[in-house]
Copies of this chain bind each other. A is one copy, B any other.
């Protein structure tokens, strides 16, 4: 069982009230690719420029991450610069240099095409659909998106969503996509577009999952030191889909455990800049924090 992930591989320049990191490894596919292999192997598809060197590749080395689908193009790697204030749930984008990412046309290597789990990172919905046309009958397609596509390519996004099983987005995006303010009603509207499972990411307020017949609410783990939230959503995606793929199940119970696993991985991601914390994370630390989530949310029946 392996996962195909398609998304951005980038350099991030990030400023938070706690420090600054200059051109460190980032991008949706990077965070996902480092999180998911705690559970299953990952097949990575993305594009980088000729400034992406051995040092950066090191993050993917020694882990079950196949990087043969990571294309190299002449030019510079995608660069994003952002700034967070104390309210880490909100951020300002200072600049977005697409560079080689502007010309990204995902080419799925032959050896990846039978991946049974697919994660479509937040890229143009036309490219997301194009990826799905290159793979053979995936068991689960999970997809991330953002307001830029919801507003800019609504019809294209609808076509992609009709082929998606699990949609991950934040509460503002859910409201925009559905045209409904109330989150429960909004979820029903979006589920009719295709995804039978909807995961609403609320940052420090946790996650709401809407399934076919059941809802699930998970808090974020209350941390004393949140250092940099960049990548938390994609790290959640990696933990979530990685766990599901390893469980080989999409039952309601497995989806719930996967949400907690995603939240667990994300809670580590935010403890340091870039992938730093994830790269020195152990499976034991993951399992211990999963159990802390259990304790955090447990209450007895009346």
Contact = CB atoms under 8 A, between A and B. Distances in A.
20 contacts: A86-B181, A87-B181, A182-B224, A182-B225, A205-B205, A205-B206, A206-B219, A208-B222, A216-B296, A216-B297, A217-B296, A218-B299, A253-B300, A256-B298, A287-B302, A290-B302, A294-B299, A294-B301, A297-B297, A297-B299
A216 to B, nearest CB: 6
Given A86-B181, A256-B299, A217 B206 contact: yes
A126 interface: no
B223 A256 contact: no
Contacts of A301: 291, 294
Interface residues of A, number: 41
Contact of A217 (B182, B290, B297): B297
Given A86-B181, A257-B299, A299-B260, A222 B215 contact: yes
Contact of A300 (B183, B202, B204, B257): B257
B291 A256 contact: no
A218 B205 CA distance: 10
A interface, by DSSP: helix, strand, loop or mixed?
Answer: mixed
Nearest to A293: B299
A215 B296 contact: yes
Interface of A: 86-87, 181-185, 202, 204-206, 208, 214-219, 222-226, 253, 256-257, 259-261, 287, 290-291, 294-302
A100 to B, nearest CB: 37
A222 B226 contact: no
Which residue, A182, A219, A260, has most C-beta atoms of chain B within 10 A? A219
A259 B297 contact: no
Top-9 shortest CB links A-B: A217-B219, A205-B205, A256-B299, A86-B181, A184-B224, A184-B222, A217-B296, A297-B297, A260-B299
Nearest to A87: B181
A300 B256 contact: yes
Contacts of A182: 223-226
